[in-house]
Chains A and B, each alone.
Chain A
Amino acid sequence: MESKRNIFRGCIGFILVITMLVFILAGCENSSTLNEQENSKDTDEVLQMDEDEIDNQNNNEQENNAEKNSEEGKEKLTFTDGLGNQVEITKNPERTIVVYNSMLDIWYLAGGTAIGRPDSKDMVNVPPEAVDIEIVGQVTQPNTEKILSLEPDLVILSTSMSKHKALKEILDQNGIENLILSYQTYRDFEEILDIFSQINGDKKVIEEVIPGIKRQVQDIVDRCPKENGPKVLILLASTSSVKCETTATHTGYMVDMLGGINIVGDPQADGQTRVQFSMEKVIQEDPDMIFIIPMGSNTEAVDERIKKDLTSNEAWAGLRAVKEGNVHYLPSEFFLKKPNTRYPEAFEYLAKLLYPEVFGE
């Protein structure tokens, strides 16, 4: 009898220890609060959780064919949003909430100011002026009540977040103007910058900043050899499967612009960004270089681990790129997060890897 009770106690203890372990470990690395979050098992949703990291959404072209209509003294602009709908946005909003930090950065660049932003662990793409504005929840879990209580006149959302689409409906019902956009690639960056500067009516940005960035990027693209670009495989930071990026992702698109040949190729379906690729095909194609996309935990140790995995795994070790040391771990500041104003630097970084003979110092 006594021993049975002991076993029982032991088990309860074990359960408590596991529970505590989860929360303590979570607490160590993540001080952010956990909002009322449903435990959703939906992998689809889970895959779309971090901005910049996992962008899976349809890459609708946001045409910025702005038509200007004046009514009631407030000028309105019409845009096509990231879901393909026409939306009217009033110019010069005063109480804007941007629920996506990469876009927040562009918003400030385009002369806007915001009153709310999502929480950020590393403060990448949070401009200094926006550090102290209200936090409206996590980017993956925006807090609807908080957003409504701030009485915004414009809310900017991202198509990569499933919760943002749900939030859009609530905003529509409450008559709050909102603009949901897709931010995946450099092209989207140009479009979003253009849309934002129109909304804010900032002439200086339209006439100087945007052409400046575009010109710098174009210069780098122009310097790249026009043909016979190197064959590239863009791998997610794990060798336990062959998850690769198509040309529709942030990095994939940049490599493509610079004339690198992505052996995975274009997406076969709209919005297909990451695919499980055939190892056999990788060996057949024998890429000239392998780029490894950083994951959230971009530590040196992970980097080392992947290099070790690549050389110890029979299938990977035979690849020319691995033998010749042409495996490059891309820095997260440019290739995990969106570089925004630093796009020219990011392009230059890639160009140096792709064409050392042209761009090498």
Chain B
Amino acid sequence: MNGKRTAYRITVLVILLILCIITFFISVGIGSLRLPVNDIIRAIFIEKEGVNRQIIWNVRLPRTLVAALVGVCLSLSGGILQGVMRNPLAGPNIIGVTSGAGFAGMLVLIYMPQYSYLLTPVSFLGAFGATILIYILSWKNGVKPMRMILAGVAVSAFLAAGIDALMTLYPERLQGAVDFMIGGLSARTWKHFRIIWPYALAGFILVNLFARRLNILMLGDEMASNLGLNVNATRMIFIILSSLLAASAVSVVGLLGFVGLIVPHITRLIIGSDYRFLFPASAIFGAGLVMGCDTIARMVMDPIELPVGIIMSMLGAPFFLYLLRGGMKRDYRS
């Protein structure tokens, strides 16, 4: 029985991986400029100059890679939080990542527009800082998930009020700020890729190493302590990891929250709740989803682009509801 289950899960992982790779090639392959496959390969490996090289190498490839890594980071972050908090609604917004990055980012864009290159590090610090603040505020002989969620809601509401205040006071400086709030992959290049890949890679390796611990934590605090797990330390490590992952993604592409909430749920419905499989599956699925949605966002009204978040929510939400209503006959434990 157990072996059969494992085989099923590995098959699912392999299928997801193949789909993800296909999506990658589609995403790099199509765009405003339509090129046959051999021209694309030439543009990547052989040409050193020219329009094709410029478009494929400097625009499409980095954008697709950033999309994939953002998908990985946000999905893993969401997956961790839903586990640690034992709450299906947990996502990067709950630990203040979204509002922290949003508020810090707005401060830069509104007060120091000439330092807009600081946007990424500052919003990263804002996101991580908000998590730490929420963690400290909810500490009382250890952190209880429910208390942390409530503290998160309160701190997020507070920071959101700050964002709203800035928006009302500086209507004339809003353009860049609104783009950041909606989030998107437009004009993302190698610079952004270089920021995000170390987090994505380190995060991916670490969560998979710790997956078993999260499985134990899921049994409940008491049981987990009895099994010799330091509940508080484990929880803290996971929360920090999750915050770093989400912060790196959010600081690069803006406030794209929905992936983190929905991808872990969808993969959980497909592959079950064992984190040793759930983590890699979420990462792969998240990467594929963001790449795919961004390709659609680029192509729907070509050459006008839509923010990827819109496509993601429009496609993701109905699909998620379909799974939730029993379109997929698998056990759903959250």
Partner of A313, one of B169, B174, B191: B191
Given contacts A240-B119, A278-B304, contact A50 B51 (CB under 8 A): no
Q: Answer yes or no: A199 CB below 8 A from chain B CBs.
A: no
Q: Answer yes or no: A315 CB below 8 A from chain B CBs.
A: yes
Q: Answer yes or no: A305 CB below 8 A from chain B CBs.
A: yes
Q: What number of B residues sit within 8 Å (CB to CB) of A? A: 57
Q: Answer yes or no: B45 CB below 8 A from chain A CBs.
A: no
Contact with B along A18-37 (1 / 0, CB 8 A): 11001001100110001001
Residues of A within 8 A of B119 (CB): 240
Q: Answer yes or no: A123 CB below 8 A from chain B CBs.
A: no
Q: Answer yes or no: A302 CB below 8 A from chain B CBs.
A: yes
Given contacts A46-B171, A49-B172, contact A26 B165 (CB under 8 A): yes
Interface stretch (choices A63-71, A99-107, A280-288, A338-346): A280-288
Given contacts A46-B171, A240-B116, A240-B179, contact A275 B165 (CB under 8 A): no
Residues of B within 8 A of A30 (CB): 169-170
Q: Answer yes or no: A43 CB below 8 A from chain B CBs.
A: yes
Task: Across the interface, name the chain B residue whose C-beta is closest to A236.
Answer: B175
| Bound CA–CA A241/B178 (angstroms) | 11
Q: Answer yes or no: B280 CB below 8 A from chain A CBs.
A: no
Given contacts A11-B133, A295-B173, contact A283 B179 (CB under 8 A): no
Residues of A within 8 A of B170 (CB): 30, 296
Residues of A within 8 A of B113 (CB): 295, 297, 299, 301-302, 305
Interface stretch (choices B181-189, B197-205, B223-231, B260-268): B181-189
Residues of A within 8 A of B133 (CB): 11, 14
Q: Are B161 and A39 in contact (CB-based, < 8 A)?
A: yes
How many A residues touch the partner, as a band? Answer: 35 or more
Q: Are A238 and B33 in contact (CB-based, < 8 A)?
A: no
Q: Are A313 and B189 in contact (CB-based, < 8 A)?
A: yes
Q: Answer yes or no: B210 CB below 8 A from chain A CBs.
A: no
Given contacts A276-B184, A305-B114, A314-B190, contact A283 B59 (CB under 8 A): yes
Interface residues of B, dominant DSSP: helix
Q: Are B172 and A37 in contact (CB-based, < 8 A)?
A: no
Partner of B179, one of A40, A140, A241, A284: A241
Q: Answer yes or no: B2 CB below 8 A from chain A CBs.
A: no
Partner of A25, one of B111, B161, B305: B111
Residues of A within 8 A of B235 (CB): none
Given contacts A39-B165, A240-B179, A278-B305, contact A305 B115 (CB under 8 A): yes
Given contacts A30-B169, A242-B186, A296-B170, contact A280 B175 (CB under 8 A): no
- The chain B residues found within 8 Å of chain A, CB to CB, are 31-33, 51, 54-55, 58-60, 111, 113-117, 119, 133, 136-137, 139-140, 158, 160-162, 164-176, 178-182, 184, 186-187, 189-191, 298, 301-307
Please name 28 pairs of A and B residues whose Cβ atoms are closer than 8 Å in the assembled complex, sorted by A.
A4-B139, A7-B139, A22-B165, A25-B111, A34-B168, A46-B171, A47-B174, A236-B175, A237-B176, A241-B179, A241-B186, A242-B187, A275-B304, A275-B305, A280-B31, A280-B33, A281-B32, A281-B33, A283-B33, A283-B51, A295-B113, A295-B173, A304-B114, A309-B116, A313-B189, A313-B191, A314-B189, A314-B191
